[in-house]
Structures are given as structure tokens and as C-alpha cells.
């Protein structure tokens, strides 16, 4: 099963997309670089899952997907666990919790954010680029279209792959050069079809009044709520925790 947006109405869902993005970003950074121990991390993850549960986030798909990274978790745990003085269970557990944390945060973020919210977040992140003349809104639209066509093109690749294999293509040649050549029967048709699609899509967009130069209005609107004011504290807190060691001496 794939992790994807599941509409809901809990507190996590109602957050402003910027706040959601900031929390997700800060939490991912936090989990990747923090130096807290195993028990502290487990507590934080448990607290996080509790918040999700109260917001009515459907976690079953995320848990199902954890199985896929289980092997990765175990390997990382083993590598981190072997220290000079034998096997350190706490270090192994902490390392595994870190990866699990990053994975869960990303999974929950994708589950509670609709496509429009993701776009809004990207666009806001691109906006500073507007200062150096890059069109933030167009870039965001490109992202939306990429997201929109990702499953379409995937299923097309799948069909082409099946048909070419049936014709006798061997798509898994050895070595980088050999496999690049072996992929031709897959790559060229996929590319041709993508170009045809792009042509049709641009025509359809133009027919619906899209002009690159024109001033467009905006449908999506997101308001800051009271809950957002409190939620903003989360990334602030997380970054403060991360930066604490650097300032520990100054106070």
C-alpha cells in the first residue's frame, strides 16, 4: 500500500500549510541530527503518534510501510551498535529510532497534507527566488504537473515494460553502459509518449485560458488559526533543543 493523502478534519489537518511544512521540516532535521538517547527519542515518537491519533490520522498504511524499511533499520542498528567495548544496545536503539522518526514524520506529513497544501508550501519556499527573477508560481505549477503525471507515467512505463519484455527485450543488462543500452526499448517509447502528452496538455491548458505572461488570480487560501500560533512553537522548540549544546557554555 502506498502512503498518500487521506482527507480528515483533525487538528493536524487544520494547520496552516506553512506551519505543517515547518513542523515536518524541523522534525526531520531534529531526528536526523539530534544526540538524545534511546528513551528520550522513544518518548518523543510516542508523543507524536499520540498527537496523530487524536487528530484522527489513519496510521495503518504508514505502519505497513515501516516493514519495508525494517531491513534498513536492522542493518543501521547493527552497525551503530558495535562499539569498541562490545555491543551497545542503547546506541543501536537510538540510531534505529532516528531513522524511524524521520520516516514517520515524512509519512504523517504526506498523509495530512493535500496536494494543494503541498503546492502552497513549495510555492512559498520558491518565493524568495522571485527576487532574483525566477517565476515562483510557474515553478510551483511545474511541480504540481509533475506530481499529477507521476502515476500516469509510471503505469505507462509498466505497460511498455511488459510489452517489450514479451517481445524479447532484456531490460536488466550487466554494467552501467550495457544496462543503459538495454533500457533503450523502455526509455525511448516512454520519452516519446511523455512528449506527446506534454503537447496535448499544453494545448488543453491554453484552451482554458492559460498564458504565461497573464496575471492570474488565486483560488487556494489558507488562514492562520489560533491553533497555528501554538503549533509554531513546535519547530521553534525543536530548533532550540538542537542548538542548545552550542550555547550551553554562554549561559
Partner 1 sequence: MFENLALNSLTVRYGRHVLLNNLCGSFSRGQINLVVGRAGSGKSTLLRVLAGFHKEYDGSIEADGVTFVPSGNISLAFQNPEALFFNGTVEDEVGYALKMRRMGRDEIEPIARSWLQKWGLDPEKCWHSHPLELSGGEKRRLALAACTIFMPPVVLFDEPLAGLDAKGQRALAELLAGMSSEHIVIVVTHEPEILLEQRGTLLYLHSEGCRWFKPAEFLRNSLIDRNFFPLPEWYHSAVGQFAQSSDLPPIKADEVFRYVKKRERMHADKL
Partner 2 sequence: MIVFDQVSFWYNDRSETSFKLKEVSFSLEKGCVNGIIGGNGSGKSTVARLMVGLMPVNSGTVNVLGKDPYQQLSHSGFLAGIIFQNPENQIVGATVEEDLAFGLENLGLSHAEMHCRIIETAARFGLSNMLREPVANLSGGQKQLLCIASVLVMEPAWVIFDEPTSHLDPWSRLEFWKIIDEFVHHHDLGVVVVSQLAEDLNRFEKILGFSGGSLVFQGSRHEFRQAGDELHQHFNYPESWKFEQLLASQNV
- Interface with partner 1 includes 116 (CB under 8 A)? no
Is the Cα torsion angle 218, 23, 101, 239 positive or negative in sign?
A: positive
- Interface with partner 1 includes 192 (CB under 8 A)? yes
Helix (H) or strand (E) holding 218: none
- Interface with partner 1 includes 169 (CB under 8 A)? yes
Contacts to partner 2 by CB under 8 A: 4-5, 7, 114-116, 119, 144-145, 147-148, 151-152, 197, 200-201, 203-211, 214-221
- In the complex, minimum distance from the CB of residue 13 to partner 2, in angstroms, rounded to a whole number: 10
- Interface with partner 1 includes 162 (CB under 8 A)? yes
In 55-183, which residue ranges form alpha helices assigned H by DSSP? 60-66, 70-81, 89-112, 115-130, 136-167, 176-182
Q: How many residues bind partner 1 (CB under 8 A)?
A: 19
Pick the closest to residue 51 from 13, 19, 95 (CA basis): 13
- Interface with partner 1 includes 65 (CB under 8 A)? no
Contacts of 124 (CB under 8 A, 6+ apart): 17, 18, 21
Residue 98 C-alpha cell reads as 532516528
User: Of 217 and 250, which has the nearer Cβ to partner 2?
Assistant: 217
User: Of 157 and 227, which has the nearer Cβ to partner 1?
Assistant: 157
Phi, psi of 211, rounded to the nearest 5 degrees: -130, 135
Residue 197 C-alpha cell reads as 502528452
Q: Which residue, chain included where needed, has cell 533503450?
A: 184
User: Of 151 and 173, which has the nearer Cβ to partner 2?
Assistant: 151
Task: Point out which span in 7-15, 84-92, 189-197, 220-228 binds partner 1 (CB under 8 A).
Answer: 189-197
Task: Point out which span in 80-88, 100-108, 109-117, 153-161 binds partner 1 (CB under 8 A).
Answer: 153-161
- In the complex, minimum distance from the CB of residue 160 to partner 1, in angstroms, rounded to a whole number: 6
Amino acid at each position: 500500500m502506498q502512503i498518500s493523502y487521506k482527507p480528515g478534519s483533525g487538528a493536524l489537518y487544520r494547520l496552516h500549510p506553512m506551519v505543517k511544512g515547518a513542523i515536518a521540516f524541523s522534525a526531520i532535521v531534529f531526528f536526523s541530527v539530534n544526540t538524545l538517547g534511546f528513551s528520550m527519542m522513544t518518548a518523543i515518537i510516542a508523543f507524536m503518534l499520540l498527537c496523530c491519533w487524536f487528530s484522527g490520522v489513519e496510521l495503518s498504511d504508514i505502519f505497513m510501510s515501516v516493514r519495508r524499511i525494517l531491513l534498513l533499520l536492522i542493518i543501521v542498528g547493527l552497525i551503530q551498535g558495535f562499539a569498541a567495548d562490545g555491543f551497545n544496545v542503547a546506541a543501536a536503539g537510538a540510531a534505529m529510532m532516528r531513522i524511524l522518526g524521520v520516516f514517520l514524520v515524512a509519512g504523517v506529513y504526506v498523509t495530512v497534507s493535500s496536494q494543494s497544501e503541498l503546492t502552497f508550501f513549495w510555492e512559498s519556499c520558491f518565493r524568495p527566488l522571485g527576487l532574483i527573477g525566477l517565476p515562483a508560481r510557474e515553478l510551483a505549477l511545474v511541480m504540481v504537473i509533475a506530481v499529477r503525471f507521476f502515476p500516469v507515467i509510471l503505469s505507462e512505463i509498466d505497460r511498455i515494460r511488459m510489452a517489450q519484455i514479451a517481445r524479447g527485450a532484456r531490460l536488466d543488462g550487466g554494467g552501467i553502459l550495457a544496462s543503459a543500452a538495454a533500457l533503450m526499448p523502455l526509455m525511448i517509447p516512454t520519452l516519446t509518449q511523455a512528449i506527446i502528452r506534454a503537447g496535448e496538455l499544453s494545448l488543453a491548458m491554453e484552451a482554458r485560458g492559460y498564458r504565461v505572461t497573464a496575471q492570474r488570480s488565486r483560488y487556494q487560501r489558507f488562514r492562520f488559526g489560533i491553533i497555528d500560533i501554538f503549533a509554531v512553537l513546535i519547530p521553534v522548540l525543536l530548533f532550540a533543543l538542537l542548538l542548545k549544546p552550542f550555547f550551553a557554555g554562554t549561559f
